[in-house]
Each structure stands twice: as C-alpha cells, then as structure tokens.
Amino acid sequence: MLDRTIAPGFKPIKKVTIPQVHSTVLSNGRKVFFLNDPAVEVFKIDLVIPCGSWFTENYNLISFALKMLNEGTTNRNAHQLAEAIDFIGSFAEFSPGFDQSTISFYGLSRFFDKNLALLSEVISNPSFDEQQFETLKKKEVQRLKLNLEKSSYLSSVALRSSLFGLDHPYGKSNSVEKIQAVQLSEVKTFFASNFSYFDIMVSGKLPDNFVDSLELNFGKSQVKKVSLPEYEIAKTVAHLNEIRKPTFVQSSIKIGKVLFNRAHPDYMKFTVTNELLGGFFGSRLMKNIREDKGFTYGIHSHLYSLNQEGYFSIGTDVNSENEQATIDEIFKEITKLQQESVGENELETVKNYMAGSFAGSVNSPFAIMEKFKAVYFQGMDMSFYEQYLSAVYQVTSEDIIQMANTHFQPESFYTCIAGPEK
C-alpha cells in the first residue's frame, strides 16, 4: 500500500530535449521557420513584422495599422472576416510590440490551406475603412483613459520613460491627444512602407505540401526591407518619480535600471540571481515583504530582454503608508545578496525550480517556436536553450555575490511610484 506520509522521490532535471526548428526560403526571399509535430491536430502561423517602436516616432501608427487588418479586407467587411475565421474553427491575434509586431492565426491542421488563404487576404488586401477606423480610434481612446486611472500602468510607463527617455522607443508614452491626431491616410502610408517585409513562423501539425502553400500565398509578393534606425538613451536626471492622484487606493512601486538582454555574457548568472531575489513565489522579496511584513499580495522582479536593450524591474502594490518601508526592505534584500553567501539548500531550490519551469515551457510546438522567436531576433540560436540547464546548475553562491555587486548598485536604480496623494 502506498504510504502517503512519505514524500515522493525527487530527481533534478538535467536534460531537456528540444526539437529542432527548420528553415527554408520562398522564391521572393521571405524566410520561413517551421516545426512540424504530427502528434497534434492544430497549427499556428505567425507573420513576424520587424516593425515596432523603433520604426516610427508615432507608435499609434503601428498599433492602428495592425489592428485595422482585423477590420475587413477589400473582399469582406469586418463581420464577414470574423465569420470566415470562426467558420473553420480558427482564431486570430494582432499584436504590436516594441521591436516587432505579429499577426497570428491558430487553426485546425485539416484547414491549413484555408487559413493561409485568409491570412494572405488580410495582409495583402486590407480595406482600411474610414468608419471602422474612427470606431477603432474611439475604442483606443477609451482603453487608454482606463489605463491612465490604473496606478500599475502609470508606474510602469514612468519607469521606462525614466530609464530610456521620453524620445526613446522603449520610453515613449501615449496620450489621448496623440491617438486622436492620427489620420487614416498616415496609417495607410505607414502600412505600405513597413508591412511587406516579414518572416513566417509556423508550428504544429503541418501538411506535406505546406511549403508549396506558403509559396502560393506569400512567395510572390514584393519584399521591401526596412532599415533599423538608431537611438540614444536619455535617462531622466531624477531617480525618483512620483505620480499622485486622489483616486488611487494603493501605491504601485516600480524600481529598475537599464541592463542587458540574452546576448550578454552575464545573462544566465544574473537570471539565477534575479530568481532568488524576486523571480518566483518562494523568492526572498516574497518571503520578506509578503509573508513576513504583510505589505503586499505579491512582489516580483524581472529582466526584460528586448532586442536592442534590456531592463530590470521590481514591482509591487502596497498601501501608501507602507511605501517607504517596502522600498527600504527591497534594498535591504539587495544588500544581503551583495554581502552574504547564499545557502546551498536555498540555491539548489531556486535552480530546481528554474529547471522545472524551463522543462514545462517547451512542452508544445507553439511554445518552442516562441522560444526560437525570442533568441532569433536577438541574433542567437537554439543552442542558448540547449545550454540553459547546465548554465543554471553551474551558477555558484560566489557568482550571485558578484552579480549583485556588479549590477545592483543602489545609485543605479530608478524608483517610480504611482499612488494616493499624501
């Protein structure tokens, strides 16, 4: 009989096998990356467009150009397009981003060709209907107004603006006036100039002739590559930025600094350091500020790995009377990492958690393609993930101290608080 008083045996995850992502090129030079998994009955196709904040001074042009693609084509209005997608059991996503934007179709593998035909119609023949555009503008204005009443949104925007500067692609903020000023003619021009160049990433169960289908739908159109502009970081002088509103109930705190992305040699050592500090539910920040002090329901730290830069952020929401105490405790935990060696058991727990999370993050073809996308656009390949577990397990307590002293200098951090008036 099973003795439930005895915990099951534990064995660390030492190796995770990741299927290889293959590639080909269509006749017009368009790159295709694919991962075929016959075990599933679904597929996902992404058109990844190198068109984010880096490519225009007005981020709204990207957002509107992308979202207008869902508002109908020259052959179908918005309702008819939605019906056509629903009829074959598919789902579409239109996702603007800092570095690149993505159009995604999820569908049943037996309708692969029908999905491609619809996706090709969407990207090749958008209607850009004036009435739909005005309706979309109103929705975007309302959505932004709602966000501007959220302390967590304002603290996040303020942190990026403080770290990169208001004119930097990663530091720009939006406004109702900017949205209302956008004209449909600008959106059309921007679309024509920026949306012909994209990579195709397809995963799931693919038909034998899927490359031929991709060639038919995406291999004939002209590809015009867009050059990547350069920007300089212009941080704000003040290291403390406070946004006060009487309507706020809690204070949202963001503490961060410009750092690096996955391509940096310190990335893996720093990732383990971050996990220990605030990367998971058992982190030091959670134990201190949630469990011991009771200041918050949750506090997390994260390294955002973007294509051109990276930045580190610690975020939490607390009652306004606990603002300064929370900030003090955050820096107290950082000081401990700089001065005290991490115990063997604690470090092993963190490593095992990271190994388990990593293994769970590559359990589907869609997830693996997302991993590939993350490294590909940062000039890397899948060897990054093949070496992930060994790199995690090799991190020592001395490495943690080194990372904390190298990258966690208190004077290098910026603090942004959005909270009630004092």
Q: What is the pLDDT along the chain (422 residues), one digit of tens a residue?
A: 667 777 666 677 878 889 999 999 999 999 999 999 999 999 999 999 988 777 777 889 999 999 999 999 999 999 999 999 999 999 999 999 888 999 999 999 999 999 999 999 999 999 999 999 999 999 999 999 999 999 999 999 999 999 999 888 899 899 999 999 999 999 999 999 889 899 999 999 999 999 999 999 999 988 877 766 666 777 777 799 999 999 999 999 999 999 999 999 999 999 999 999 999 999 999 999 999 999 999 999 999 999 989 999 999 999 999 999 999 999 999 999 999 999 999 999 999 999 999 999 999 999 999 999 999 999 999 999 999 999 999 999 999 999 999 999 999 999 999 999 97
pLDDT the model gives residue 110: 97
Report d(CA 404, CA 396) in Å as an integer: 13
Query: β-strands 240-244, 310-318: how paired?
Result: unpaired
Q: What is the DSSP string of 33-52?
A: EEEE-TT-SEEEEEEEES-S
Nearest to 202 by CA among 19, 361, 32: 32
pLDDT the model gives residue 7: 67
Residue 282: partners with Cβ closer than 8 Å, 6 or more residues away: 349, 350, 353
Report d(CA 253, CA 151) in Å as an integer: 9
Q: What is the DSSP string of 231-284?
A: ------S-SEEEEE-TT-SSEEEEEEEE---TTSTTHHHHHHHHIIIIISTTSH
Predicted model pTM: 0.91
Question: 185 by DSSP, 3-state: which?
Answer: helix
Report d(CA 411, CA 413) in Å as an integer: 6
Report d(CA 355, CA 60) in Å as an integer: 39
Residue ranges of domains in the chain, CATH in brackets: 22-219 (3.30.830.10), 239-419 (3.30.830.10)
Q: How far is CA 6 from CA 1, 10, 11, 23, in A?
A: 12, 12, 15, 49
Where on the phi/psi map is residue 234: left (φ > 0), alpha (ψ -120 to 50), or beta?
Answer: beta
Report d(CA 202, CA 141) in Å as an integer: 34
Q: What is the DSSP string of 376-396?
A: HTTT--THHHHTHHHHHHH--
Nearest to 71 by CA among 126, 124, 142: 126
Structure tokens at 10: 């534990």
Report d(CA 37, CA 311) in Å as an integer: 35
Amino acid in the structure at residue 186:
E
Q: Which helix (H) or strand (E) holds 149?
A: none
